[in-house]
Amino acid sequence: MEVNMSRLSTLIRFYFTLGLRHWEILLSLSNINGIVISASTLRRHLKTLRLFRRKEHSDLLDVAVFLQDQLNRYGMLHGYKMMHLKCIQAGYVVTQETIRQLLKILDPHGVQLRRRNRLRRRLYHNPGPNFLWHVDSYDKLKPYGICINGAIDGFSRMLIWLHAYSTSSDPKVIAGYFIDAVLSRNGTATRIRSDLGTENCYMEQMQMFMRHDHTDDFSRNCYLYGSSNHNQRIEHWWGFLRKQHAQFWINLFQDLKDSDDFSGDFLDKSLIQFTCLEIIERELQDVVHLWNTHRIRPSRNAVSPCGRPVMMYTLPQLFGAREYLKEASQQKIQACREECRERGPYPCDNTVFDICCLAMAENSLHPPTSPEEAIDLYMFLRAYIRTQI
């Protein structure tokens, strides 16, 4: 089969920047893109594209500047392995050991804080990708007006969706996340697990509706309710999110609260949503990308595979598993979508949004692009609006 060289080069560059190893690139090209090349051909293309792991290392000063920028954000919560992957995906050629040593210099306090013992967890068994999706909401930022909802595949630990919005209590919004995931895959999971919250009732009905015509053993028991300790995959992942991202914002908002610049009332929450929600949503997608492409180490839990979530999800046969996605017709998906509520263009209350836009226009202010700019804008708008009341 004739291969378009330009497309092949683009794919090789894409998989390389994800941080995949050579054998993982070859498998991805073969199984996902239908392109079969030899290891020597891959090495030749990588050399032509000047994509290296062990030579032509990036300038240490450039790497240090990148790390310092990450440490000023939620990257301050990352360990050296996750930060190394982040450097690779940003285009730097650097070793894990170099990152470890740089972090010891740039962030010695953070290094000490991350030296903790891991908890022993009970065994968990899942036969393959899309057999069971775990769905839950993360409420640690909810007191500040930021509501996060996510779903994770039980076998591969691939994140199915992760979103921040002004609410995680509206069942039509949660159903919208679910239907978007189903639409992108042309199918749904064999089973879904969540807690007993009313925000999940639409998703439950839609799952049962799409699975109604199936004849497998779980078609009549396709939705599971239970307590949080039975939803361990997503509950465990919330711990990762807090350590790698959310704690940065919790500290930022707590500082506002301690200095009496955040009271928790309707206006303050709306202003946090207006200034910070888009940045947090964008950062969450970065976290999703980083998590799905990082390598999960082997553990004592022999029934849980190790590897990269994206590889375990897309190529389950390499890990002794098979695909469990259940096909859903376009008619059913569209019927469900009509009952969903898409996230609107306004990150906060419509009236507050209009007032904030007017205040920014009058003072020639631009939308924030970083957490620091978002907090500065929040402080300005808070003082501006309160003087007008």
Say which amino acid occupies 52. F
What value, to the nearest 5°, has the Cα angle with vertex 183 and ends 206 and 285?
A: 105
Predicted TM-score (pTM) of the model is 0.80
Mean pLDDT check: name the lowest of 19-28, 39-48, 131-140, 229-238.
Answer: 229-238
Q: Which of 209, 78, 210, 200 is nearest to 149 (CA)?
A: 200
DSSP string covering 73-86: TGGGG--HHHHHHH
- Residue 228 has a pLDDT of 67
Q: How far apart are CA 326 and CA 186, in angstroms?
A: 8
Q: How far apart are CA 125 and CA 134, in angstroms?
A: 13
As a whole number, mean pLDDT of residues 340-365 equals: 91
Q: How far apart are CA 171 and CA 135, in angstroms?
A: 13
- Bridge-based pairing of strands 159-165 and 326-327 is unpaired
Please determine, for residue 117, whether its predicted confidence score (pLDDT) is greater than 50. no
Contact 317, 310 (CB under 8 A): no
pLDDT in tens, 1-34: 456 888 899 999 899 888 898 999 999 998 888 8
| Phi-psi map region of 56: left, alpha, beta (phi>0 left; psi -120 to 50 alpha) | left
Contact 9, 31 (CB under 8 A): no
DSSP string covering 357-376: HHHHHHTT-----SHHHHHH
- Residue 229 has a pLDDT of 66
Which position has the higher pLDDT, 111 or 221?
A: 221
